């Protein structure tokens, strides 16, 4: 292939040559592709996560009863987990209760019940907050999407 033929091998977009092959810069291509990937990742993953957290936080502020319920459930779960630790610490002692079982067994069963109840209370409060956050999003789209700017491959990369 001769040097003049290199112009015919360039990438075409809309019937025109985007860039002749002999002017192709691999570093520019890699950096441009990385920029596009970062922009897409932020717009489609980062922004929705941040916006979801903001909406959930706003729902917590707007609904203190559900927030309290969720926090109560988290506290119950944490207290139950601590009780499990106490039960494990009591296992080697072999303390016997009135019913013939060990004290560790009773503490661990009670703690497991507290963990289960705490998880249910947390789910109840968190479910209310989640529903409120979904129904009233704070920021529905990324700033670039709201302003109508082109992203990714829509931009002209010939400069």
d(CA 87, CA 63): 36
pLDDT in tens, the chain (159 residues): 444 444 444 455 555 555 566 677 888 888 888 888 888 888 888 888 888 888 899 999 999 999 999 999 999 999 999 999 998 888 888 776 666 677 788 889 999 999 999 999 999 999 999 999 888 766 655 555 555 554 444 444 444
Q: Tabulate helix, strand, coil % of the chain (nearest 5).
A: 75, 5, 20
Which helix (H) or strand (E) segment holds residue 19: the answer is: strand 16-19
User: Which pLDDT score, from 0 to 100, does residue 27 have?
Assistant: 83
Beta bridge partners of 16: 13
Backbone angles phi, psi at 130, to 5 degrees: -60, -45
Task: Domain ranges for the chain, please list them.
Answer: 25-153
Question: What's the predicted TM-score (pTM) here?
Answer: 0.60
Q: What is the pLDDT of residue 75?
A: 97
- List, as one string, the DSSP characters of 60-74: HHH-HHHHHHHHHHH
């Amino acid at each position: 292939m001769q040097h003049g033929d290199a112009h015919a091998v360039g990438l075409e977009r809309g019937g025109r040559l985007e860039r002749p092959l002999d002017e192709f810069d691999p570093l520019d291509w890699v950096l441009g592709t990385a920029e596009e990937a970062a922009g897409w990742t932020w717009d489609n993953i980062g922004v929705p996560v941040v916006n979801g957290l903001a909406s959930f936080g706003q729902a917590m502020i707007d609904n203190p009863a559900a927030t309290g319920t969720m926090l109560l459930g988290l506290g119950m779960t944490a207290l139950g987990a601590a009780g499990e630790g106490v039960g494990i610490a009591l296992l080697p002692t072999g303390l016997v209760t009135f019913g013939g079982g060990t004290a560790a067994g009773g503490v661990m069963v009670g703690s497991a019940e507290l963990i289960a109840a705490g998880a249910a209370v947390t789910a109840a409060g968190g479910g209310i907050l989640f529903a409120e956050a979904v129904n009233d999003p704070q920021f529905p789209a990324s700033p670039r999407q709201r302003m109508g700017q082109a992203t990714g491959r829509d931009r002209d990369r010939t400069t």
